[in-house]
Homo-oligomer: A and B are copies of this chain.
Amino acid sequence: MSEVENTVVDLCRAARAAGKLLALAPTDAKNDALTRAAALLRQNAPQILSANRDDVAAGREAGLTGALIDRLTLNEDRIDGVAEGLVQIAALEDPVGETIQSWRRPNGLEISQVRIPIGVVGIIYESRPNVTADAAALCLKSGNAVVLKGGKEAIRTNTAIARVLATAIAEAGLPADAVRLIESTERAATRTLLKQSEYIDVIVPRGGPRLIEAITSESSIPVIQHYAGVCHVYVDSEADLAMAQRIAVNAKVQRPGVCNAMETLLVHASVAEAFLPTAAAELQRCGVELRGCARTQALVASAKTATEEDWSTEYLDLILSVRVVDDLGQAIEHIGRYGTGHSDAIVTDSYANAAAFTRSVDSAAVYVNASTRFTDGFMFGFGAEVGISTNRLHARGPMGLRNLTTYKYVVRGSGQIRE
């Protein structure tokens, strides 16, 4: 093994050992570590900002785009925001130790299903250095050790932040190895990490589809995927059209670059004439480019032609594809065919149509009369967000702290044996 590989394996092994201790740590100690980390981040802001300036300078030299430089750049306010995030995570309920369900068997055995940490989480992320603190805090609070692998453009900043976290954890009497950053920026480091199934229980990638695909194909550890969404709003024949327009505009415009933004608007033919011209004008006023089917174009002359590819494209931008459908069934079929099972909404006043839509649309979040933009751990009330899973196993949709846990069964008896 190369030195890089050895270092990664050692770090993962140490994380496993630390995770076993952290799994038993009292909530108070974990919260203490988090509040200490928040204070230390603020206190060490000058050093972190200095490291960050070096990263940014190197990034500019390497020709990073303006958007990437922006994501990479920290300032006092952003550090303060990161620290505040840690304080908020400290305030959340500890999921560890929760009894999910319990029951008594006829033979007197008492069975409890008890929530416990997963063990060790590997987080692989791109340029945003705030993920270093956020992800570590979520893992720590849920009793998991974490191995972090950030983007190489943020390595100095990430290293400075990770050291602060390790100090805070040690000061709280917890094992510092519970949060470790892989400091090597070689590709071999990630490759090695993805093979440590003995020490790492799950990989959570935070980044674009290419990162997630590469990780999934290379990993021998289960990966929780956070793919993006081709989300729909369907305006039913029975819709309140003013509400439908508010929801459509919000779902598209409020923050177009995120996975729960609407990409396709479906409109029932019977309301298309009443709805589309006005709604299209409002969307266009907000800067949205429209790409429509023939029936849409007949009502909105300025709409471009939507191609087959448009229906399955996640624009993440102020672009919207629009289709007039014959009925609810065609809307459901369209969503099943082109959607990604992320977030889809119906606007309707019909009880039966709402029921059919929520039953038949197989997406992580199915909405009636609300914007798709609510698919989010904070909006769902989970307090913090690990991400939005597009997996069907283990966790689906917005992930809170509980999704970083598993369970064990504790069985209490009085001498029962099996006949």
Residues of chain A whose beta carbon lies under 8 Å from any beta carbon of chain B: 20, 23-24, 103, 105, 109, 111, 116, 118-119, 201-202, 217, 220, 222, 240, 243, 246-247, 250-251, 254, 336, 354, 358-360, 362-371, 373-375, 379-381, 391-394, 396-398, 406-418
Q: Provide the residues of chain B in CB contact with A23, threshold 8 Å.
A: 362
Cross-chain contact A374 with B416 (CB below 8 angstroms) = yes
Cross-chain contact B359 with A24 (CB below 8 angstroms) = yes
Q: How far is the CA of A359 from the CA of B143 in the complex (A)?
A: 13
Closest to A376 in B: B418
Q: How far is the CA of A368 from the CA of B396 in the complex (A)?
A: 34
Q: Provide the residues of chain B in CB contact with A374, threshold 8 Å.
A: 109, 411, 416, 418
A37 to B: closest C-beta gap in Å:
26
Q: Provide the residues of chain B in CB contact with A247, threshold 8 Å.
A: 415, 417
A-B pairs with beta carbons under 8 Å apart, 5 shown: A109-B370, A109-B374, A247-B415, A370-B414, A370-B416
Q: How far is the CA of A396 from the CA of B407 in the complex (A)?
A: 7
Q: Provide the residues of chain B in CB contact with A358, threshold 8 Å.
A: 410
Contact of A411 among B222, B368, B406, B413 (CB under 8 A): B368
Q: Provide the residues of chain B in CB contact with A409, threshold 8 Å.
A: 364-366, 375, 380, 397-398
Q: Provide the residues of chain B in CB contact with A406, threshold 8 Å.
A: 392-393, 396
9 A-B pairs closest in CB distance = A370-B413, A250-B417, A373-B418, A394-B394, A243-B415, A393-B394, A370-B416, A369-B413, A371-B417
Assuming A24-B359, A393-B202, is B243 touching A381 (CB within 8 A)?
no
Q: How far is the CA of A236 from the CA of B354 in the complex (A)?
A: 59
Q: How far is the CA of A379 from the CA of B246 in the complex (A)?
A: 53
Q: How far is the CA of A338 from the CA of B313 in the complex (A)?
A: 50
Closest to A202 in B: B393
A221 to B: closest C-beta gap in Å:
10
Q: Provide the residues of chain B in CB contact with A364, threshold 8 Å.
A: 408-409
Cross-chain contact B412 with A371 (CB below 8 angstroms) = no
Closest to A254 in B: B418
Cross-chain contact A393 with B20 (CB below 8 angstroms) = no
Scoring A250, A251, A362, A407 by chain B CB atoms within 10 A of each residue's CB, the highest score goes to A362
Q: Provide the residues of chain B in CB contact with A103, threshold 8 Å.
A: 381
Q: How far is the CA of A371 from the CA of B362 in the complex (A)?
A: 42
A180 to B: closest C-beta gap in Å:
20
Cross-chain contact A360 with B24 (CB below 8 angstroms) = yes
Q: Provide the residues of chain B in CB contact with A119, threshold 8 Å.
A: 392
A18 to B: closest C-beta gap in Å:
14
Q: How far is the CA of A230 from the CA of B24 in the complex (A)?
A: 23
Q: How far is the CA of A33 from the CA of B22 in the complex (A)?
A: 49
Q: How far is the CA of A217 from the CA of B220 in the complex (A)?
A: 8
Cross-chain contact A418 with B371 (CB below 8 angstroms) = yes
Q: How far is the CA of A142 from the CA of B220 in the complex (A)?
A: 29
Cross-chain contact B371 with A416 (CB below 8 angstroms) = yes
Q: Provide the residues of chain B in CB contact with A202, threshold 8 Å.
A: 392-393
Closest to A370 in B: B413
Cross-chain contact A408 with B393 (CB below 8 angstroms) = no
A90 to B: closest C-beta gap in Å:
22
Given contacts A222-B222, A397-B409, 4 further A-B contacts (CB under 8 A): A202-B393, A250-B418, A367-B411, A398-B409
